[in-house]
Amino acid sequence: MSVMAIVGAQWGDEGKGKVIDELASRADYVVRYQGGGNAGHRVVHGDDEFAFHLVPAGVLHPNVICVIGNGVVVDPRGLLHEMENLRQLGVDLDRIVISERAHVVMPYHFVLDRLEEESRGVEHLGTVMRGIGPAYVDKYSRVGIRMADLLDVDHFRSKLSAVLAQKNRMITQIYGQSALSLEEIHTEYVGYAQRLRAHIRDTESILQKALGERRAILLEGAQGALLDIDFGTYPFVTSSSTVAGNASTGAGLPPRSIDHVLGIYKAYITRVGSGPMPTELFNGEGDALRAAGREFGTTTGRPRRCGWFDAVAGRFVARLNGFDSVAIMKLDVLDSFSAIKICTSYRLNGRELHAPPANHNDLAACEPVYEEWPGWQAPTTDATCWDDLPEKARRYLRRIEALLGTPLALVSVGPGRGKTVHLRELVL
Ligand code: GDP
Ligand code: IMO
Ligand code: MG
């Protein structure tokens, strides 16, 4: 096997960073294929914690080449800041390459993200304010600026001058704010381009060569399938395709090159930002999950909304992505609960639903139908193999596996490297 896609299966923050960091010990390449600085992927090594936003989470392995693929939208200032932090830790930055086709998140994208959110009022999406939506809008409107454009100073200036005129009309005439300066943006971004020049490459050729050599490639998803632009809880979604189907496009690899798709779920569910969430808990149980799971956003610090495992959404996502196997993360967070629920269907106007409805108002009106499982009320964080887990925990996990209809490959019992129970070998 050479190519594995690792995909978030809920509303993001499932623990993709931890899984990538562990699997990357056997990888040659780790590739981000969509999203941008809205992602926050945490990796814990002993007392040290790292949060990655644009740099692939495999970077702590000295031999891994980290690719920011064409499907990503790149904020060069944020990326340089992240790279500088890594440099100070002694990480060799030559291993980071950025697709020349990746779109650049520009200052007006940040401004418009904020202004559009403010204008939505109570209907706001709760974006992470990293300019992601406006950057993807420009990509599809064909007025985006790509990394390759930044490298050609005059060409960049003429593109920027045309697009900025249009953006400034929006910023001043629709939103009544001050216009942005062409000179300032041009100078700032030419400076970033100079600093990033050596990293900007035709990454699709690099990856296709690696594929030909049967190198081990991990495709690192950001966000999660319930935030997918098509299949998520639209319009409360992110602006990219987060599902496995986009992993090949966003990396520049053929679809059939992906040998294995691994879906990442938490043993419960969280969401940050607005939008329907059928199993959300508004009681002390939700608070207990948030406290035990330290459920506060990696990128924004916002408290995450917490709820029971939603197997209706879970099965829908497993089928959409064609998961070959799944990981269940943060099992240890449930250790102290005396009873644990799983949502097995939704009830809407007297009907029972087995898949999330497309209309977000219908989804918001869905009531979860639960089955209740006894808690194991014992620590799981030192488990190193399946038999170390309490029997009630094993029964809970087997039930989730059956509901998802996908084999369980690993169970995570703590944030640190190695705090993982493997049920089957994931060949890379
Ligand atoms: P990502 O965006 O999918 O990479 O997830 P985040 O890094 O945003 O959020 C997951 C959080 O849970 C991080 O702080 C991880 O360090 C932490 N984490 C990952 N796996 C486990 C686990 O098994 N148990 C516990 N307690 N924490 C975990
Ligand atoms: P990782 O990769 C959790 C959410 C935002 C908001 C919605 C749209 O760490 O799992 P955006 O800024 O993308 O336009 O916001 O998507 N969101 C995430 N939630 N984890 C993420 O990334 C997220 N990236 C975006 O909170 O609800
Ligand atoms: Mg995250």
Tell me if 19 CB under 6 Å of ligand 2: no
Q: Are residues 269 and 406 in the same domain?
A: yes
Residue whose CA is at the smallest distance from ligand 1 atom 20:
415
Q: What is the pLDDT of residue 28?
A: 98
**How close is the Cα of 130 to the center of ligand 3, in Å?**
14
Q: What is the pLDDT of residue 1?
A: 56
180 alpha carbon, distance to own chain's centre: 30
**How close is the Cα of 232 to the center of ligand 1, in Å?**
21
Residue 186: give its domain's CATH number: 1.10.300.10
Tell me if 12 CB under 6 Å of ligand 2: yes
Nearest atom of ligand 1 to the alpha carbon of 49? 16
Tell me if 133 CB under 6 Å of ligand 2: yes
Q: 423: which 2 tokens?
A: 């049920």
Nearest atom of ligand 2 to the alpha carbon of 40? 9
Residue 333: give its domain's CATH number: 3.90.170.10
- Residue 81 amino acid letter: H
Nearest atom of ligand 1 to the alpha carbon of 44? 16
pLDDT in tens, the chain (428 residues): 599 999 999 999 999 999 999 999 999 999 999 999 999 999 999 999 999 999 999 999 999 999 999 999 999 999 999 999 999 999 999 999 999 999 999 999 999 999 999 999 999 999 999 999 999 999 999 999 999 999 999 999 999 999 999 999 999 999 999 999 999 999 999 999 999 999 999 999 999 999 999 999 999 999 999 999 999 999 999 999 999 999 999 999 999 999 999 999 999 999 999 999 999 999 999 999 999 999 998 778 889 999 999 999 999 999 999 999 999 999 999 999 999 999 999 999 999 999 999 999 999 999 999 999 999 999 999 999 999 999 999 999 999 999 999 999 999 999 999 999 999 888 88
Tell me if 37 CB under 6 Å of ligand 2: no
CA distances to 59, 61, 106, 417 from 43, rounded to whole Å, are: 11, 12, 28, 8
Q: Are residues 210 and 69 in the same domain?
A: yes
Instruction: Enter the pTM of the model.
Output: 0.98
Helix/strand/coil for 6:
strand
* Cα–Cα distance measured from residue 328 to residue 322, given in angstroms and rounded to the nearest whole number: 16
Helix/strand/coil for 375:
coil
DSSP string, 163-232: HHHHHHHIIIIIT--PPPPHHHHHHHHHHHHHHHGGGEE-HHHHHHHHHHTT--EEEE--S-GGG-TTTS
Helix/strand/coil for 147:
helix
Residue whose CA is at the smallest distance from ligand 1 atom 17:
415
Residue whose CA is at the smallest distance from ligand 1 atom 1:
13
Tell me if 13 CB under 6 Å of ligand 2: yes
In a domain, 177, yes or no: yes
Q: Give residue ranges with CB within 6 A of ligand 1.
A: 8, 12-18, 40-42, 44, 293, 298, 329-330, 332-333, 412-415
Q: Which ligand does the CA of 240 lie closest to? A: 2
Q: Judge whether 260 counts as a catalytic residue.
A: no
Q: Are residues 313 and 410 in the same domain?
A: yes
| Domain final position from 177, 196, 215 | 196
Q: To the nearest whole percent, how much of the chain has pLDDT over 70? A: 100
Q: What is the pLDDT of residue 342?
A: 98
In a domain, 370, yes or no: yes
In a domain, 427, yes or no: no
What is the domain count for the chain? 3
Q: Are residues 76 and 217 in the same domain?
A: yes
| Domain final position from 219, 242, 261 | 261
- Which of 238, 306, 329 gets mutated to test ligand 2 (max ligand atoms within 8 A of its CB)? 238
**How close is the Cα of 310 to the center of ligand 3, in Å?**
19
Q: Which ligand does the CA of 242 lie closest to? A: 2
Q: Are residues 210 and 90 in the same domain?
A: yes
Tell me if 240 CB under 6 Å of ligand 2: no
Q: Are residues 15 and 70 in the same domain?
A: yes
Rg of the chain (C-alpha set) = 22
| Domain final position from 230, 261, 292 | 261
Given a contact cutoff of 8 angstroms between Cβ atoms, the answer to whether 73 and 32 are in contact is no
Q: Are residues 395 and 275 in the same domain?
A: yes
In a domain, 428, yes or no: no
Nearest atom of ligand 1 to the alpha carbon of 8? 3
Residue 18: give its domain's CATH number: 3.40.440.10
Please name the residue that has the structure tokens 């939704």: 346
Q: Are residues 303 and 339 in the same domain?
A: yes
Question: Domain residues for 403?
Answer: 265-422
Q: Are residues 289 and 399 in the same domain?
A: yes
* Cα–Cα distance measured from residue 151 to residue 149, given in angstroms and rounded to the nearest whole number: 5
Q: Which ligand does the CA of 128 lie closest to? A: 2
* Cα–Cα distance measured from residue 340 to residue 308, given in angstroms and rounded to the nearest whole number: 8
Q: Which ligand does the CA of 232 lie closest to? A: 2
In a domain, 357, yes or no: yes
**How close is the Cα of 166 to the center of ligand 3, in Å?**
33
Q: Are residues 192 and 204 in the same domain?
A: no
In a domain, 223, yes or no: yes
Q: Are residues 333 and 413 in the same domain?
A: yes
Q: Judge whether 152 counts as a catalytic residue.
A: no
Nearest atom of ligand 1 to the alpha carbon of 222? 2
125-175: pLDDT as tens digits: 999 999 999 999 999 999 999 999 999 999 999 999 999 999 999 999 999
Q: Are residues 245 and 164 in the same domain?
A: no
